[in-house]
């Protein structure tokens, strides 16, 4: 059975009642890497946020099954504990809570959900060190307050560190490559590649080919007007770069 099965998913913005998703269909299996591309405003971020249960949106139709369970009936926190990851960085800084405390709390909550014992302070420390190494980040990063003074690039790296620490069956990364210089992009992509295994899957929203060349998606989708308008493999990215989204979306 698929890891994620999205059928005819429809959703609107709660505040304005505006319908954004108009019937999204998507199947993700274990070990696959799915790229979601598409024009600004086509609904990519909305799709991701609806999957993780963001309160700004209300599902108006369709179904989502994740690991055999009805995802739409689960609270956002439960979705994350069950292995659906999307960066949980808040736009506000959390005074007095350091990054490592935050990560350890989140990781121990997930261990509990998996039926594993919580890690004590020393085990936590070595686990975090191992993951820092995996994503190639400096230990001083852990002592910073959550989101306090993180640059754009540091936020992106922190997102990958969160993913490495928590682990996930399906990770959703929304424009993880935006605003990164070439070196940072290579680092981040390398870290994502080290996190990926045949047992987990990635859904990556991006505008750019550079990160796709580094991550080798198994599937490439183009979203248009709240639907997945076209699905192909990495070769479709060349067509998009040459001709833009319009021809690619129109040729369905």
Binding site for ligand ADP (CB under 6 A): 13, 16, 20, 38, 40-46, 56
Least separation, in Å, of the C-beta of 48 and Mg ion? Answer: 8
Q: Which is nearer to Mg ion, 166 or 205 (CB)?
A: 205
Q: Which is nearer to ligand ADP, 30 or 89 (CB)?
A: 89
- Dihedral over Cα of 28, 33, 36, 37: its sign: negative
The string of DSSP letters for 102-124 reads: HHHHHHHHHHHHTTPPPPPHHHH
Is residue 178 at the binding interface for Mg ion, with CB under 5 A as the rule?
A: no
- The length of the chain, given as a count of residues: 252
Least separation, in Å, of the C-beta of 167 and ligand ADP? Answer: 26
Helix and strand tally (H, E) in the chain? 8, 10
Residue 17: how many other CB atoms lie within 10 Å: 9
**C-alpha dihedral over 128, 129, 134, 138, to 10 degrees?**
110
- Dihedral over Cα of 133, 165, 201, 179: its sign: negative
Of 161, 219, 169, 148, the residue nearest 187 (C-alpha):
161
Q: Near Mg ion by CB under 5 A, which window of 16-24, 41-49, 105-113, 214-222?
A: 41-49
Among 1, 16, 40, 90, binds Mg ion (CB under 5 A): 40
Is residue 90 at the binding interface for Mg ion, with CB under 5 A as the rule?
A: no
- Cβ(135)–Cβ(162) below 8 Å: no
Q: Which is nearer to ligand ADP, 46 or 80 (CB)?
A: 46
Least separation, in Å, of the C-beta of 54 and ligand ADP? Answer: 8
Residue 56, binding choice from ligand ADP, Mg ion, none, Cβ under 5 to 8 Å by partner class = ligand ADP
Q: Which is nearer to Mg ion, 164 or 220 (CB)?
A: 220
Residue 161: how many other CB atoms lie within 10 Å: 24
Least separation, in Å, of the C-beta of 218 and Mg ion? Answer: 22
Tokens (6 digits) for 7? 């059928």
Among 45, 60, 145, 218, binds Mg ion (CB under 5 A): 45
Least separation, in Å, of the C-beta of 71 and ligand ADP? Answer: 18
Residues at the contact surface with Mg ion, assessed by CB under 5 A: 40, 44-45
């Amino acid at each position: 059975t698929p890891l994620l099965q999205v059928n005819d998913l429809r959703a609107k913005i709660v505040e304005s009642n505006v319908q954004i998703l108009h019937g999204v269909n998507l199947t993700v299996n274990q070990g696959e890497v799915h790229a979601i591309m598409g024009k600004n405003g086509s609904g990519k971020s909305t799709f991701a946020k609806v999957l993780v249960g963001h309160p700004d949106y209300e599902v108006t139709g369709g179904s989502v099954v994740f690991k055999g369970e009805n995802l739409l009936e689960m609270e956002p926190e439960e979705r994350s504990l069950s292995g659906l990851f999307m960066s949980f960085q808040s736009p506000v800084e959390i005074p007095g809570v350091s990054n490592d405390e935050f990560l350890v709390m989140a990781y121990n909550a997930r261990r509990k959900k998996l039926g594993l014992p919580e890690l004590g302070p020393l085990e936590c420390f070595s686990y975090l060190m191992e993951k820092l190494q995996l994503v190639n980040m400096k230990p001083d990063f852990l002592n910073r307050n959550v989101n306090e003074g993180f640059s754009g690039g540091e936020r992106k790296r922190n997102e990958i560190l969160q993913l490495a620490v928590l682990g996930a069956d399906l990770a959703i990364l929304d424009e993880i490559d935006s605003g990164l210089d070439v070196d940072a992009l290579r680092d981040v992509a390398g870290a994502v590649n080290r996190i990926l295994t045949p047992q987990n899957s990635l859904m990556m929203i991006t505008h750019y080919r550079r990160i796709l060349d580094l991550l080798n998606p198994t599937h490439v989708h183009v979203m248009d007007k709240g639907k997945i308008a076209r699905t192909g493999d990495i070769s479709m990215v060349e067509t998009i770069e040459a001709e833009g989204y319009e021809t690619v979306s129109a040729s369905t």
